[in-house]
Amino acid sequence: MRVRSCTAIVLLAVLLGNEMIDTPRVLAESPTTSAVATTAPAPWFEQNQENFLELYRWLHQHPELSFEEEKTAAKLAEIWKQLGFEMTTGVGGHGIVGIMHNGKGPVVMIRTDLDALPVTEQTPVPFASTVQSTREDGSSTGVMHACGHDIHMTNVTAVGRYMSEHRDQWSGTLMIIGQPAEELGEGAKAMLNDGLFERFPKPDYALAIHVSADKPTGAISLMPGYSLANVDSVDITVKGRGGHGSAPHSTIDPIVQAADLVLSLQMIVSREVKPIEPAVVTVGSIHGGTKHNVIGDDCKLQLTVRSYSEEVRQQVLAAIRRRALAVAMAHNAEEPDVLISQGTPSLRNDDELTARMTKLFSDVLGVENMVPGEQSMGGEDFSRYGIAGVPILMYSVGSVDQSRLDRFEQLGIPAPSLHSGIYYPDAPETLKTAFTTMTASLLDLLQPSP
């Protein structure tokens, strides 16, 4: 990793610089723009790029975990307030809401997530995070924006500033939200439960981006319909009867039960779910026993379950419970504990909004930069705003320079994925594409009345 990153280190040092400041100058008035300027979005961004990169570097160096985003939220709230947004803080935890009324027209919401991950950063960038956090078990972990939320925050701030300085180009209401705890799948629900669409205008449209770790900068990807999955967690405690390892006949072995159950669970998707319906059942953790010659009393399994439709979701969860009970019965064991935690619902992009933005983005970026969308079994709680009745669109923005992707391919290894300690975006080009497309979408959706 060190060898193949040398060029990237030099490139980022040149493009981003090493200077870090405590207060990003994104608030400062630009010498090349004014509140009534009509500068096109792309040149305007290039003129002001360094201010936004300073904000990006600050956010990257100061990551905060889910529901702990106090400083992050305060920083953005202050910036957005100075841009002219009516700010409300503390919505659903550390969530923030900015409202800008600009005449008659629709309400359009753009959303960014605020939280980082318990991942120790191992990237070569000079502004790498050194933040540490203590886990519940007392161990220490690094904290890192390994999922691009720092890019997302910087992007909506840049978009918000452009829209504030160019109010003659649009009419309606712009709503910017900073959402906590996306990584837990809980932040959108918390904000909605705190009256997001009752205390503030309910949007006619909602937009969000997500960086992509395997697409080149300059490219975007979007698709109508389902694009991200239902995500559920299942905790199973298989119960046995402990004893000596030399006398298994006098025990009920929970580890053998668990092994039997793991194999049985693999039959759900392959033999119960229709082949054309996406679903995943993964046993991510299994823990049991204490010593070589001891048969324990229980064994614990942790599963992640992915699906798209609600019908398949309920089918798979019911099958997990049924098979766990059946295995226990086969072993003459006590009924297991099966705890299902329904998490993030599947994300479905609005068909009409997606078609409209696909045409717009093709005109703005060129069809050669439009990458066909693919369904993913990952999850995103942006989906909850769609379930609440708002037409939504989340689209992917490429974040890795093509030369880096080519180098990974030459080496025969995949590019680092999101949530990896060695993932980092090529920020200038990533932000330029995100800003250009999101600003274009707002100017299109908020067209002034003739």
- Report yes or no: 376 and 229 within 8 Å, Cβ to Cβ: yes
Tokens of 251: 């025990």
- Report yes or no: 441 and 357 within 8 Å, Cβ to Cβ: yes
Q: Which of 121, 182, 232, 297 is catalytic?
A: 182
Q: Radius of gyration (Cα) for the chain, nearest Å?
A: 24
Provide the 3-class DSSP secondary structure of residue 312.
Answer: helix
Euclidean distance between CA atoms 16 and 55, whole angstroms: 11
Phi first, then psi: give them for residue 413, nearest 5 degrees: -130, 150
Angle subtended at Cα 334 by Cα 328 and Cα 335, rounded to the nearest 5 degrees = 65
Euclidean distance between CA atoms 425 and 431, whole angstroms: 10
| Sheet order of strands, 392-400 included | 86-91, 95-102, 172-179, 107-113, 205-216, 392-400, 220-222, 370-372
Q: Which of 113, 115, 350, 429 is catalytic?
A: 115
Question: Residue 349 pairs with which residues in a beta bridge?
Answer: 225
Question: Residue 326 pairs with which residues in a beta bridge?
Answer: none
Tokens 């698709």 label which residue? 223
354, 335, 416: which is closest to 220 by C-alpha?
354
Q: Among this protein's residues, is 150 annotated catalytic?
A: no
Q: Among this protein's residues, is 182 annotated catalytic?
A: yes
User: Could you write out the DSSP letters of every residue in 109-159?
Assistant: EEEEE---BS-------TT----EEE-TTS-EEE-B-TTSHHHHHHHHHHH
Catalytic residue list: 115, 182
